[in-house]
Every structure is written in C-alpha cells, then in structure tokens.
Structure 1
Amino acid sequence: MPLLNKPSSSRSLTRLRIALTVFFALDGFLFAGWVVRIPAIKEQTGASASDLGLALLGVSAGAVVTMTLTGRLCRRFGSRPLTVAAAVLLSLGIALPARTHSALGLGLVLLVFGAAYGGINVAMNSVAVDLVAALRRPVMPGFHAAFSLGGMIGAGLGGLVAAGLPASSHLLVLTVTGLAVTAAAGPVLLRHPSPAVHESTGRTASPGDLGDDPVHPSRRTRRLVAVFGVIALCTAYGEGALADWGALHLEQDLGAHAGVAAAGYSLFALAMTAGRLSGTTLLERLGQTRTLVAGGATAAAGMLLGSLAPTVWPALLGFAVTGLGLANIFPVAVARAGALAGPGGVATASTLGYGGMLLGPPAIGFLADWFSLPVALTTVAALAATASVIGYAVRRVPAGTAAEERAENRRPFAVSAPVRAEPCRSEPS
C-alpha cells in the first residue's frame, strides 16, 4: 500500500478532495434551488400547508428508503460510482416538481428527487470518511461547508430570479447545471484510486478499534452509531425546517418581500458555511464535545429569536445565529458514526440525520396548522438543545482523529485514551 507522504499519493488525495467538495457543493446548490421555489410550487398546485407537508413527505420517503440501502451498495459497488450516479438522478429529478399541478402529483415526483438526494448524501459522506481517515485531520466540516456554500449560492440566485423567472424554467436550468458539473467532476472522482494508508501511520478510530467487523459491528457499536444518528437528526431537523419553511415564515408572518424572504435561507446558509469553514480548526482546538455542546446551545438560542421575533431583521439575525450553531454538529456526528462502523455507520447516521431534515418540514406543516408557524419553528430550538445534551452524554466515546483526541484530552470534557485504526473502506475489495 502506498505511503501518504509520497507526492503522487498526496496529489491524488488532493484531487479526490477537490472533486468530492464539488459534489457536496452541487448537492447544496440543487437542494437550495428547489426549496426557494417551494412557495411558487405551493401556489401552482393550490396546496394547503397540510397538503404541502404531505407532498414533502415524498422527499422523505424516497430518501429514507434509499439511505437504508446505500450503505450496502457502497460496500458492493463503491461509494464513488454511487455518488456520480445519484448526482445524475438528482439533477434530472429536480425539474419534475414544476411539471405537477396537484399535491398528489408533487408528492409522487418528489419520491424520485428524495431517492436521489438520500443516495448521494450517504455515498458522498462515505467517501468523505475515507478521506478524513487518510488525511488524518478532521476535515469533514470542510465538505459540509461546500454543501452550505452551494446552498447559499443556490438560494441567493433563486431569490434573484424568483420574481421574474417561472419555477419551471429555473428548475430546468438547475438540471442542465447539475449534469454539466457531474460530467466535469465525476471522472476525477472515479479515476483516482481509493485512499490508502500505510499501517505505520497511526490512524485513529475505526470499527476494528472496538473489535468489530465493519460489515457486522457489535451491538454496542450499533447503539453508539444510533446515538450519533440521533444527534444528526436533531440538528438536520433545523436545516430542513429553515430550508422549507423559513422563507414562508418571513413572507407570511412578518410581511417580508419575496426576495428578502428567499435571502433568509441564504443568510442561514452563509452562517453555516462560515462555521464549517472554521470547523477543522475549532475541532482541533476545542475537541468534539465542546463543539457539539456549544453548537447546540447556540442554535437553540438563535432559533428562539428567529421564530418568535416580531419583525424581519431580528428574525434574520436569529437565522444566522442558528446557522453558526448547527454548522459543525451534523458533520461531526456522521464522521464519528463512519469511524465506528464504516459505510454502514454512515448510512445509519445519515438515514437518521437526513430523515430529520426531510421529516422535519412535514412535521412543521402539521404543527403550523394546529398552532402557528412561529410556534412550530420553536421545535427546532428544542431539538438543538437536545443534541447539545446528548453530545455531552457521549463525551467518553473515542474521538475520530489524533488531533481531535488531543483536543479532547486537553479539555475538562475528557474522553478515553486515543485509539488507533485502519481506514474505513467504502470501495469493494
């Protein structure tokens, strides 16, 4: 196996990292381009809040079913081919909602979109876990920063064209863009070999550390993976809620202009991007426990302001604070699950996490009908606080990289002694 300090290996890892970053950014760009057109699609279909919530459940159903299968598919066919295939399907699927004229039809086409969205997120994160292991640095937040940056750009452009461009034309442009980006970055992702690390490099945190086979982890490992999945769920719920209902809250409850309302999600995505760009440094200096606890508490406070503020500008500030708080919680949770159980761990945590992102919007819709949309959005704060509590409760689970372990051991929230590991594989042998 090649040594990581060889120039050819370093260049290969760099190219893989860049290509994977592009796919994360594309995922965020396409998803945000869809969510900022939800008000237009709602008007087009004549759906009520409850009907729209049920239609959005199609995204959830498609994604969750796909996520439960993608971990196995990654082990059989490789995470990188699945990433490329799912990106193609996602690009094609995003044009479908604008072709519907009923809540039922919308829900059916969103099954396809959700299946692609679920598949690409599990596959991408599986590739990312391998790269984090090979690079021996907690760089997972950087990939998710690309997702947030893509979301910010997608939402910003969507806000600019919302008033003058029909949703059907906008989503068709997104399809063409997605296919073009996939055609450019896909061969790079597929061409280069999988990350390989020499046994003497001193890797950290893998299934083998707990005495598990990555394909058949122990019951304890499965429970730990589920716990990290719940942390991901609690925070992804907030991302989904703000993506699908944030613009509507600003426009409907606070009287914001359509462009300002769309910019609300863009501001949230910008704050998440800034938080994730600094995530590697934050994790190396503070460790995962403090990052999780502080992030959850910050997001809870921000969302209380964002949902209950009486005017637009404090609500926008609350959205930004929420983005900063949530920024690094999800990537840390998925990375820890992947380090514990390989692609299967990523699939489990992603299923729970993205399930929260996708099931949250329908739940918000029902709560908005029963109570009000501002009250419904306060559940985001409650779940962020829950993630903070759970993050402290699992403080003694080994960290994912040597740098993180050193940071944890320097802090009052200490963890157990550092462990060594082999890389998590998402490619078939």
Structure 2
Amino acid sequence: MPTLNKIRTAILRGQRPVSDTLALSRLRTALTLFFALDGFLFAGWVVRIPAIKEQTGASAGGLGMALLGVSAGAVATMMVTGRLCQRFGSHPITVAAAFLMSLGIALPPLTHSALALGLVLLVFGAAYGGINVAMNSAAVDLVAALRRPVMPGFHAAFSVGGMLGAGLGGLLAGHLSATRHLLLLTAIGLVVAAAAGRALLAHPAPGRAPRTGAAPETTGGRTTGRERRLIAVFGVIALCTAYGEGALADWGALHLEQDLSARPGLAAVGYSAFALAMTVGRLSGTALLERLGQTRVLVAGGATAALGMLIGSLAPTVWVAFAGFAVTGLGLANIFPVAIGRAGELAGPAGVAAASTFGYGGMLLGPPAIGFLADWFSLPVALTTVAALSAMAALIAYATRRAGVPTRG
C-alpha cells in the first residue's frame, strides 16, 4: 500500500511513477547511443574522403558527382521512412537502418572509379537518411513524454560521435588504409547497434500527448495547410544550416590540406574542432531554449555561423581556419534540432520526414554544390556560400517569428 500511495501522490502532483521514469531513462540512453553512432560512422567516412578521392582518381567535380549518391539515397528514403515509422514504429526502423549504415560504410574503399563510388554511396545514403528520420521521430516522442526541450541533447550525442569518429580517423589516417579503417568502423557499428537496439526494442515508443490548444488535425495523421507551410519553413531553416554541416564534413579537411597546406592528420582535426564546438553548443541547448526562446536561439545561431564561416573559408592560416570552424559549430549547434523537433511536434514522423528531407537534403546536396563551385571558382570561395545560407536561416527565423507556433518551456 505505501508504494501505491506514492504512485497516487506522484500522479496527483503531475509526476511519473518510478517505473515510467526508468523506462524513459533507458529509452533516452538507447536513443543517445544511436545518435552518437550515426555521427561516429558519418565522420569516420568523411575524414577518409581525401584518400578515397586519390584512390578513385576523381576530380573535384567528379567527387562532387559521386557524393551526390549519398544525397540521392538519403532523400529518396526519407519520406518512405516516415511512412514506415507510422506503420511499424520508429524503434524497429531505427535499429534496421543502423545495421544497414554500419555495413554500407565498408563499401566506398572497395571502389576504383567515381561512378562506382557514387553507386555504393546510394546504399550508404539510404541508410543514413533512414536512421535520421527514424531516430528523430523517436526522439520527438520521447521529448514530448519528458516535457522538456531536450532535443539538442540527442543532437549533441551526434556531435560527440562525429568528434570521436573524426578524431579516430585523424589518428589512423597515417597508419591504416581506408579499407581497414572503414571495416573497423563496420565492426564497431554492428556491436553498438545490437546493444542499443536490444534496449530500444524492449520499450515501446511513449505516446504523444496532445499540445495545449492543438487542433484535432495536429494530433492525428492529417495536418492542416497552415501546418504544412510551417513544416516547410522549418525544413528550409534546417536546409540552410545543414548545408554548412555537410560542406564542412566533406570539404573542410580538403580545404585545410589543399589551400592551407595542412598535414592529413591535422586536417582531420579541423572537423573535430567544428564537432567539439557544436557539441558544446548543443549540450547547453536546453538551457538556452528555456532562457531565450526559440526565435532568439535561431537568429543568433544563424548570424554566428555566418560570421564563423566567413573566417573559416577565407582564413590565411590553419589555426585561424580552426577558429572559424569552431565559431561556425557554435552557431549551427541548435538550429537543426529545433527545426526538426518543431516539425515533429506538428505532424509526428511525417513532419520529421518532411523537414528532414529539406534539412538532410541540404546537408547532402551541399557538398556536390561545393564541388562544382570549387571547379568554377575556388574552394574558399565556394565555402562562403555556407555563410550566406546561415544568414538566410537567421532572416527566415526572424521573419516568421509571429507565425503563431505554440512553444513550450
């Protein structure tokens, strides 16, 4: 009876029973591992792009076309993944996509032409797009159950994974071939996916409580025209900022090597500086959102990223470029999580899928665009487009500040 009384008292006070709290905590830990694994594998791939470029003999434009395979595979599967999550649940889809991504990362070093590289990157891209929609959908449900804006924390795990993946890549670049390095990442990925997947599948996704004042359409399967327009706005904001993340991931190391004469190991650390700064920004994201609100976080973040990327792309030395990359990471840190989270609040997995298609489309279409611009002008000039789009994201967020989207916290 004392236990029952404690549960009853907790419910009356708006608190959760201990069993529910433990279940949510385990779900949060499992999802955090999947976000970290996603960043770890993706960063492990991107720091070996210079080696893959040399192996295939591709030009900057040819490499850009090959990288389009990641974009095509991801964008093609995102909307499908949203529907699969609605039908089968976001947890099983997250686990399946993690296994596919772990296997797909071993394929690029087995190719010897830009065409073959582009084809195998379709598989890697499909898994990358699938896991990002599925785990973000699961995170939106968990954030709603926790009733706190903790979405930046999950994306901080992605950044931690990216930092570790890039750091490990920098350490191994001079000792292991790209083939052995990426096979090692496959083994790590399969082990983590199996362990975290077991915990994720053991708990069903928490139900999403209706928002206060929400119309019936926002809590069901159909969205209103106004909500679809808002989702598109969030998607464009995500696109503008994710473009920068993808550009730094795929071209940052090459910029440091090619334009600033950095050694391969030091060039790989450049992405780690960006990922570390983004991690710091996201770890403080919940506190910033609770204190400043979403509009101020979005506007300040976009402006900061624009300034940082101008410094990073036009820097005269490696160390100034590192500083620019770090400032860019701080600026971009919380924009993408906020945009994806708000779209998910509006329409569940369908909203996450739609905004993610915009956002990850920007992340994955950006690198090929940078490649073409680098061929026509130069790589530093091409990277200044990241600053332009970051500033655009800030302007869009400010212009739509009175769109009437309800906020929490």
Report the TM-score, using the length of structure 2 for normalisation.
0.95
Counterpart residue identity of residue 393, structure 2: A
1:152-231 alignment, distance < 5 Å? 152-196=163-207, 204=211, 208-209=214-215, 211-212=217-218, 214-231=220-237
Match of 1:393 among 378, 385, 399: 399
State the 1:204 CA deviation: 3.5
Aligned partners of 1:164, 1:365: CA distance in 2, in Å? 28
Aligned partner of residue 13 in structure 1, secondary structure: helix
Counterpart residue identity of residue 47, structure 2: V
Deviations 1:90-136 (A, max 9, x none): 00000000100000000000000000000000000000000111111
Counterpart residue identity of residue 175, structure 1: T
Match of 1:243 among 243, 246, 249: 249
The question of 1:86 aligning with 2:97 is answered yes
Counterpart residue identity of residue 53, structure 2: K
Deviations 1:49-96 (A, max 9, x none): 000000000000000000021111100010000000000000000000
Question: CA contact under 8 A between 2:237 and 2:339: conserved in structure 1?
Answer: yes
1:300-339 alignment, distance < 5 Å? 300-339=306-345
Please say which of residues 188-197 and 382-391 is displaced more in the overlay.
188-197
Aligned partners of 1:89, 1:119: CA distance in 2, in Å? 9
Aligned partners of 1:282, 1:175: CA distance in 2, in Å? 36
Question: CA contact under 8 A between 1:205 and 1:398: conserved in structure 2?
Answer: no
Match of 2:381 among 331, 356, 375: 375
State the 1:220 CA deviation: 1.2
State the 1:184 CA deviation: 0.6
Question: CA contact under 8 A between 2:302 and 2:332: conserved in structure 1?
Answer: yes
State the 1:193 CA deviation: 2.5
Match of 1:22 among 4, 29, 33: 33
Long gaps (5+) in structure 1? 404-429
1:57-96 alignment, distance < 5 Å? 57-96=68-107
Question: CA contact under 8 A between 1:303 and 1:381: conserved in structure 2?
Answer: yes
State the 1:300 CA deviation: 0.1
Aligned partner of residue 300 in structure 2, secondary structure: helix
Counterpart residue identity of residue 330, structure 2: L
Partner of 1:293: 299
State the 1:163 CA deviation: 1.0
Aligned partners of 2:347, 2:402: CA distance in 1, in Å? 17
Long gaps (5+) in structure 2? 1-7
Report the TM-score, using the length of structure 1 for normalisation.
0.90
Question: CA contact under 8 A between 1:24 and 1:146: conserved in structure 2?
Answer: yes
Deviations 1:335-387 (A, max 9, x none): 01011111100000001000000000000000000000000000000000000
How many residues end up aligned between the 2 structures?
Answer: 397
- 1:205 to 1:36, Cα distance in 2 relative to 1, 3 A: farther
Partner of 1:110: 121
RMSD, aligned α-carbons? 1.5
Partner of 1:420: none
Aligned partners of 1:244, 1:187: CA distance in 2, in Å? 32
Counterpart residue identity of residue 393, structure 1: A
Partner of 1:46: 57
The question of 1:123 aligning with 2:134 is answered yes
Deviations 1:187-231 (A, max 9, x none): 11011132147x6xxx6379x447446422111111110110000
Question: CA contact under 8 A between 1:276 and 1:327: conserved in structure 2?
Answer: yes
- 1:212 to 1:138, Cα distance in 2 relative to 1, 3 A: closer
The question of 1:147 aligning with 2:158 is answered yes
Aligned partner of residue 402 in structure 1, secondary structure: coil
The question of 1:279 aligning with 2:285 is answered yes
Counterpart residue identity of residue 8, structure 1: S
Partner of 2:360: 354
1:249-260 alignment, distance < 5 Å? 249-260=255-266
Aligned partners of 2:406, 2:84: CA distance in 1, in Å? 24
Q: Which runs of 4+ in 1 moved over 6 A?
A: none
State the 1:267 CA deviation: 0.5
Question: CA contact under 8 A between 1:33 and 1:174: conserved in structure 2?
Answer: yes
Aligned partners of 2:82, 2:206: CA distance in 1, in Å? 18
Counterpart residue identity of residue 368, structure 2: P
Counterpart residue identity of residue 236, structure 1: A
Question: CA contact under 8 A between 2:91 and 2:205: conserved in structure 1?
Answer: no
Partner of 1:270: 276
State the 1:310 CA deviation: 1.1
